Each structure stands twice: as structure tokens, then as C-alpha cells.
Amino acid sequence: KVPRTTAHALPTTAPGSRVRLQGWVHRRRELATVSFLVLRDRTGLAQAVFAPGTPLPPEETPVEVVGTATANAQAPGGVEVTSPVVTALGDPADTPAVELWRPRLDTGLPTLLDHAATTWRHPRQRAVWELAAASLHGFRSTLDASGFTEVHTPKLVESATESGANVFEVDYFGRPAYLAQSPQFYKQVLVGVFERVYEVGPVFRAEPHDTVRHLAQYVSLDVELGFVEDHVEVIACLRDTVAGMVEAVHERAGRAVELLGLDVPVVPEVVPTLHFREALALIGAPEDEPDLAPEHERALGAWGREEHGSDFVVVHGYPTAHRAFYSHPDPENPRWSRSFDLLFRGLELVSGAQRLHRYDDYVAALAARGYPLAPYASYVEAFRRGIPPHGGFAIGLERWVARLTGAANIREVTLFPRDLHRLAP
């Protein structure tokens, strides 16, 4: 059998040698004197030249092309396939779905999502997933290099971690269970086993509102580390992790960056950081504001850019009463917590905190919020088994990619988004 090659490798093939390529019919061009078939595979585009009138499969049909590598300055990469034989390897793609994204990706988002099986083949769209994959590689390799262990925790759980409001209930062998909103409890408990852990996995939020930044299922990049002094150490770990993600985007997704014309951010050595109180004062919001609203985040993003040339801003010290019960209060002034958010280009990308780590503090924190202890029993019990001071954070992968690419809607950078209205494809 003729050895298989790829579009990327074709230009390095010795002229005159026999080649075999597999991919999709990207373009057919039928002229009076010659027909061209541009084949697309995972590595790029390659051109095959046919005698006029040769029947060619419709665009987007998976095909095999066998022929002779021949130099031609006009072909992509300077080499094309001549005397080719083309064989369809699957059913031809149905024309209407394909036409949705040809020649431009200018169809409405719901239609693009309805036909994700073909619309996501667009090179610009595939570039988006390459950015996500490269970022994940950077996330993992940075943490691996710092002694973290990757873990996987259950997604079917017995209690809500991030307040009960937006949790999906499921039937678990006749009793109620929930889809995990976060690996929060497990990652904390596992600090007691591994000291440093991270998890990449889906989390579920029954978000009742239609917004451009919320999904009902997203990929959470969770980190937790033990033996920390305070949240400042956790923020330093976050800074290095995001810097590692950026580095991997340059190293592994350079083609995607170029194709999309992206302005990849630089993560400053020291990210501009404000206490929650300072942040409110800076943007002129009332002192008793419980949280930052989206317009506050945008204003802080603009401040970071204008005053510090940074796409990133850390806000720490959110009011204890309005953060998750596991957040560690500031020992100097317990009204504020040792929690933080990282804003990226004016949008919350990360939440994190130093956590409580003593059993009695958990019992008190739950009681202070009027939560019953029972649903949290197995989690809270773990703090009687020797959990050191610790903290961590979670990065929303889709939010990261949305901000990186400038996508107006998080669904544009989610392969198969789940939201209030969408459960298929």
C-alpha cells in the first residue's frame, strides 16, 4: 500500500513519489481545462489536480486521494498531487449543513450550534479548540512541575457545595443526589492525602438566566494546595499557573494565534491587586456592596489596563458573609475574607481563597449561615483527621478561551454548550 502522508508533510515528499492522503473535500474547483480538489486534514490543506470533467465527491465528504507528488509553485506548500485517484470514505456531507459556514462563519450562533458536527470544522473554529487544548497542557505541566497530583472526583454528590440555588437534582437509586457544582469538598479533603492536587473536569450549574458568560456545564480547572500561610501564597500559585497557560498557548497553538490574529496577554510578575474595599472606592460603588457586579468588573478591568498595562486584576478580601462558608475570614477583621477573584479583561475568570481547616470553624461557619450540618457531615468530619492550612482556586476554561479570543458569547467557544434551552446536539 502507498504510504500515508499528511497535508503538512506533503511539501517534504520527494517529487515523483507515490502518496496517499486522507481528509475531507475542502474545495472543488472545476475549470474548463482542469479540476482541483483541495483536501483538508488535521494538519492543513493539500491540492490534487484532475483532468477536466472527472467526477469529484461533494465538499465535506471524507476521502482518500492517491497520486504522485509533483512540484508546483502555485500549490499550497509548493507540492501537489497529480494523476490522482479519489475514493469516498464515507457518505457525502449533506449540502445545507455545509453551506451554513461556507464561505464565512456568518450564520447566527444558534444555527451554528445546531449543526456543530460540520460548522466546527471551520479552520477558525478549530483554532479555538486548539487554544483550549494548549491552555490545558500549560495548566497541567505547570502544576505537575510543582509537585501537584492530578485527581478525579465524583460528579454525583450528596450535597451542594456552592450554595443550593443552582444545583441539578438527579435520582440516585431512589434517593436524591446532585450533579457536582465544583470538586470543592473533594479537593480540600485530598489536600490531606496528597498535599497538592488539581482536577480538570466538568461541573454543573443550573443557571436560571440566559447570559453570555454562564453555561449549565463547563470545564473547571481546580487547584488546591496545603501548608499555605495565607491567600497571598495561593494567588502566587494562580499567577504562575496562568502564566504557564499563556506560555503553552504560544508554544503549542501558535498557528491558531496567528489565524485568529489574537493579542495573547502577558501575565505580569506582580498582578495589580486591590482589596475589595479599595475596589469599591476606586469605581465609586457604595461601601456596603456585597459583591462586584459585571459593570464593576469591567471598570476594574479598564483600570488594570490603563494604570498598569495589565489584562489581569486580582481583587481580594470579599465580605465573609457573601462568600462560600469554607472561605477563611481575615483574622485581623473577620468581616472580610481571605478570598479572591482574578479578573481577565474585565470578567471574573477565577475564584479562590484560603479555606477554613479546623473542624470547629466549619461547624461555626455553617451555623452562622443557618445551614444544617447533616448534608455536610462527611466533608466536615474530614477536618477532624488532620487537614493543614490550605487554599485553592478554580479557573473556568470556557471563560478563559472566550476572553482570549474576544468571543462575545461563551457558547461560541464551547463545543456542545448546555444552557437553559439547549440539550442537543
Q: Would you please indicate which residues are annotated as catalytic (active-site) residues?
A: 205, 207, 213-214, 348, 351, 399
Q: Does 393 contact ligand AMO by CB under 6 A?
A: yes
39 grid coordinates: 483536501
Contact 129, 398 (CB under 8 A): no
Output the residue with the shortest Cβ distance to ligand AMO.
396
Evaluate the CA torsion angle 406, 412, 418, 419 in order and state its sign: positive
Q: Does 396 contact ligand AMO by CB under 6 A?
A: yes
Q: Report residue 171: phi and psi, to 5°.
A: -90, 115
Q: Report residue 47: phi and psi, to 5°.
A: -110, 135
Q: Report residue 126: phi and psi, to 5°.
A: -65, -30
Among 46, 157, 179, 215, binds ligand AMO (CB under 6 A): 215
- How far apart (Å, rounded) are the C-alpha atoms in residues 402 and 205? 18
**Only segment of 122-130, 171-179, 361-369, 391-399 that touches ligand AMO (CB under 6 A):** 391-399
- How far apart (Å, rounded) are the C-alpha atoms in residues 247 and 134? 9
CB of 188 to ligand AMO, least distance (A): 9
**How do strand 149-150 and strand 273-275 relate by DSSP bridges?**
unpaired
Residues 256-275, interacting with ligand AMO (CB under 6 A)? none
**Only segment of 26-34, 226-234, 362-370, 392-400 that touches ligand AMO (CB under 6 A):** 392-400
Residues 44-103, interacting with ligand AMO (CB under 6 A)? none
Residues 129-188, interacting with ligand AMO (CB under 6 A)? 162, 182, 184
- Is the omega angle on the peptide bond into residue 290 within 30 degrees of 0, that is, cis? no
- 404: annotated binding-site residue? no
Contact 140, 201 (CB under 8 A): no
What is the rounded end-to-end Cα distance, in angstroms, of the chain?
A: 38
Question: By C-beta, is 89 or 170 nearer to ligand AMO?
Answer: 170
Q: Which residues contact 193 (CB under 8 A, 6 or more apart)?
A: none
Question: By C-beta, is 170 or 420 nearer to ligand AMO?
Answer: 420
- 64: annotated binding-site residue? no
Question: By C-beta, is 40 or 411 nearer to ligand AMO?
Answer: 411
Q: Does 398 contact ligand AMO by CB under 6 A?
A: yes
CB of 396 to ligand AMO, least distance (A): 3
CB of 75 to ligand AMO, least distance (A): 43
Instruction: Return the SS3 of 195.
Output: coil
Instruction: Determine the size of the site formed for ligand AMO (CB under 6 A).
Output: 21
Question: By C-beta, is 59 or 398 nearer to ligand AMO?
Answer: 398
Sheet holding 169-172, edge to edge: 156-157, 175-179, 169-172
From residue 339 to residue 358, the character string flagging contacts with ligand AMO as x (rule: CB under 6 A) and all else as - is ---------xxxxxx-----
- 328: annotated binding-site residue? no
Question: By C-beta, is 47 or 135 nearer to ligand AMO?
Answer: 135
- 343: annotated binding-site residue? no
Question: By C-beta, is 152 or 255 nearer to ligand AMO?
Answer: 152
- How far apart (Å, rounded) are the C-alpha atoms in residues 22 and 5? 8
**Only segment of 38-46, 172-180, 207-215, 255-263 that touches ligand AMO (CB under 6 A):** 207-215
Question: Cα 408 to chain center, whole Å?
Answer: 15
Measured at the CA of 178, the angle between CA 206 and CA 193, to 5 degrees, comes to: 115
CB atoms within 10 A of CB 57: 20
The binding site for ligand AMO (CB under 6 A) comprises 162, 182, 184, 205, 207, 214-215, 218, 220, 348-353, 392-394, 396, 398-399
